[in-house]
Amino acid sequence: MTKPSILVTRAVFPEVIDRLAQYFDVDSNQQDVALDGAALRQRLAGKSGVLANAADRIDGELVAGLPALRAVCNMAVGYNNLDVPALTAAGIVATNTPDVLTETTADFGWALLMATARRVTESEHWLRAGKWERWSYDMFLGMDLYRSTLGILGMGRIGQALARRAAGFGMSVLYHNRSRLPEETERALNARYVSKTELLAQSDHLLLVLPYSAQSHHSIGAAELAQMKPSATLVNLARGGVVDDAALAVALRERRIFAAGLDVFEGEPQVHPGLLTVPNVVLTPHIASASEKTRRAMADLAADNLIAALNAGPQAGRPPSLINPEVMAHRR
């Protein structure tokens, strides 16, 4: 019996490729060359499924030319790269990899927050440049986390994991979300729901972990930055586009806020040039989930989803992390 053909769009652990090869004819991009729209369309021709990367844009126009495609499985928790309505209309299963990266991402968010507040990278660059000649009382004064106010914009799994970490620092936790959490969850997290305006005005440290959508585009722009304390820090773990990077670069340069830590950017891997010229920002290349254990778990879950979605092996059936469950009733 001929195996279904699938595409793995970017390099992944060889063991995952070997596992997929038990069930599929695998076209694997282990050279890890980013596929643009035309190249992606060409490689997907005739494929039943794809294990995709968050940078792969799979939209209605692309799907319309791929009649064999039955499953798109993102190796990421976010899926703003997928046109889910178009996939659903075409009867194509869409999946992501939630849960497995929550704690690792929250750990990294905390590291980025501390590095930002305490000017870790700024002081390291200064030291490496040979500028440290003596100690002084005002050298690289930062902002305390202990007993400060933490604001969280977006209170899903990762936001809640960050709130739990705040307890060890004696922080007051404020949050704003599309929907308020149940009272028992708020009590467990010692978190208080406030308006977005209150969140911006009262937070000493603001963490962004909301999903990206057309509605959340530039949720933090010039107007929002102007509402923050001049002593506040901003950390973006969410997605590029949630923050107006150009406006942030101006606010940092003019010291309208104290500092920022960014793991995601608009148009990444490009970074707004203004962010590269200010000292009071910590920049990391989208690595919040980058522990080996977590990345393996993400790859394994994406493979589980693909195997189930294409009715292969012992996991055939309903994928464990469906984005569009309604499509299961009308599989083609």
Q: What's the gap between Cα 178 and its chain centre? A: 18
Torsion, CA 329, CA 9, CA 264, CA 106, rounded to 10: 60
- Is there a catalytic annotation at residue 217? no
- Residue of 43, 57, 286, 296 with catalytic role: 286
- Residue of 70, 239, 272, 295 with catalytic role: 239
Q: What are phi and psi of 294, to 5 degrees?
A: -70, -45
- Is there a catalytic annotation at residue 239? yes
Largest CA distance in the chain: 74
- Is there a catalytic annotation at residue 255? no
The amino acid at 162: L
190 Ramachandran zone, left/alpha/beta (phi>0; psi -120 to 50): left
The contacts of residue 242 (CB under 8 Å, 6+ apart) are 208, 210, 212, 216, 217, 218, 219, 220, 236, 264
Q: What's the gap between Cα 58 and its chain centre? A: 18
Number of other CB atoms surrounding residue 231 within 10 Å? 13
- Residue of 103, 186, 198, 268 with catalytic role: 268
Residues in the chain: 332
3-state helix, strand, coil in the chain (%, to 5): 35, 15, 45
Report, as residue numbers or ranges, the catalytic residues.
239, 268, 286
